[in-house]
Amino acid sequence: MSKKFKCVDCGTLNVIDVNKKVLVCPNCGKKYSNRFYEGVDKDNVELTLSKQEIQGGLEFIGSGYNPQLEENPDPGSMLIVRKLVKTYPKSDRVAVDNISFSVRPGEIFGFLGQNGAGKSTTIKCLTGILPFDSGEIKICGHDIVKDPIKAKMCMGYVPDNHSVYEKLTGREYVNYVADLYKVPTDLRRERLDRFAKLFKLEFAIDRQIKSYSHGMKQKICIIAALIHEPKLWVLDEPMMGLDPQSTAEIIAHMREHCANGNTVFFSSHNLDLVKKLCHRVAIINEGKIIDMFDLAGNEQNKANLEERFFRLTGTYEDRLFEDYIAQESADMRPAAVLNNND
């Protein structure tokens, strides 16, 4: 399906020409910036609209994301975000701009965007770390503002900066978190022993966290987030600094978690990992969700994920998709190692 935009002045629905940097409504002459542009601005056309006006003037059809549908989600969704708005003090920029989405039971949901797009702000709002200006967030049916304790009891959160009490041992820290979530002693002991073995932390679980490496701190954060077996697991760049074995173990546990009817909300810059792991994804750009689509069962969406992401966020360049290895001639490659007998 071709991309289209609706003119905000006259309402005419126009097809996007990917070869033009500036789109002009043929009915009224209003100009728009084209973020799907592929060519070169040979005529040095000056835009007559501000960035904010351009964003407000484009309504993209056929991307798979319908904000109106997302505002009325299935009430059985594990996570519901409706018309969320967040601005920071002393900033004229809207960090999260009226976004709506929901995440279903048994789903791994990918949340994609460039640095500064609004991913971490959205996550901090839905985990209750940041207040927000307007909108609604529900975790397993519990409103994060009206009933924050019940909402947070249903959720486990792994931040991107592994904030922990470094003077505690790994065991003490996990027990501290287990106390907050009222996990019985026998259950926490069994779970901690299982996760410590799973993530190869048995040798360090009784050492102070300040002696841990980056990856070990990330692992202890993950264990703490799982100790109460939350229905919703929120992960913000969870694989940062992890070795391949630990990454594989986390991926396996994410899949097992969802297979048991639970949900994972997963933010990552690793598009290869996302397309192998996620059932659905949303792309956020400059505070707005600009696309949402299925990956599970849709090989075309998986194959086109990188290109789709770069085009939608306005960062597409042909050179990013060049197959340089295939273009190399044989004499450009390193010579074979000579036999020692020669």
Q: What is the spatial distance between Cα 303 and Cα 299, in angstroms, rounded to a whole number?
A: 6
Which residues, 6+ apart, have CB-to-CB distance to 16 below 8 Å? 2, 3, 4, 5, 23, 34, 36
Q: What is the spatial distance between Cα 105 and Cα 108, in angstroms, rounded to a whole number?
A: 9
Classify burial at 285, counting beta carbons within 10 Å of its beta carbon; exposed 0-12, middle 13-18, buried 19 or more.
buried
pTM surpassing 0.85? no
Write down the H helix ranges in the chain: 51-57, 67-70, 119-126, 148-153, 170-180, 185-198, 214-226, 244-259, 271-277, 299-303, 305-312, 324-327
Question: How far is C-alpha 264 from the chain's CA centre?
Answer: 11
Q: pLDDT digit string (tens) for 26-78? A: 887 777 666 555 444 434 333 333 333 333 344 433 355 666 667 777 778 99
Which of 11-15, 100-104, 138-142, 233-237 is predicted with the least confidence, judged by mean pLDDT?
11-15
* % of the chain at pLDDT higher than 90: 43
- Better pLDDT: 6 or 97: 97
Give whole-number Cα distances, 219 to 111, 180, 192, 202, 314, in Å: 21, 19, 12, 12, 35
pLDDT of residue 15: 76
Q: pLDDT digit string (tens) for 98-149? A: 999 999 999 999 999 998 899 999 999 999 999 999 999 999 999 999 999 9
Q: What is the spatial distance between Cα 30 and Cα 35, in angstroms, rounded to a whole number?
A: 16
The segment with the largest mean pLDDT, out of 173-182, 197-206, 229-238, 269-278, is 173-182
DSSP three-state, residue 299: helix
Q: pLDDT digit string (tens) for 172-219? A: 999 999 999 999 999 999 999 999 998 889 999 999 999 998 888 888
User: What is the pLDDT averaged over residues 153-161?
Assistant: 89
Contact 158, 235 (CB under 8 A): yes
Classify burial at 293, counting beta carbons within 10 Å of its beta carbon; exposed 0-12, middle 13-18, buried 19 or more.
middle
Q: CATH for 65-154+263-319?
A: 3.40.50.300
- Better pLDDT: 126 or 317: 126
Residue-range domain boundaries for the chain: 4-57, 65-154+263-319
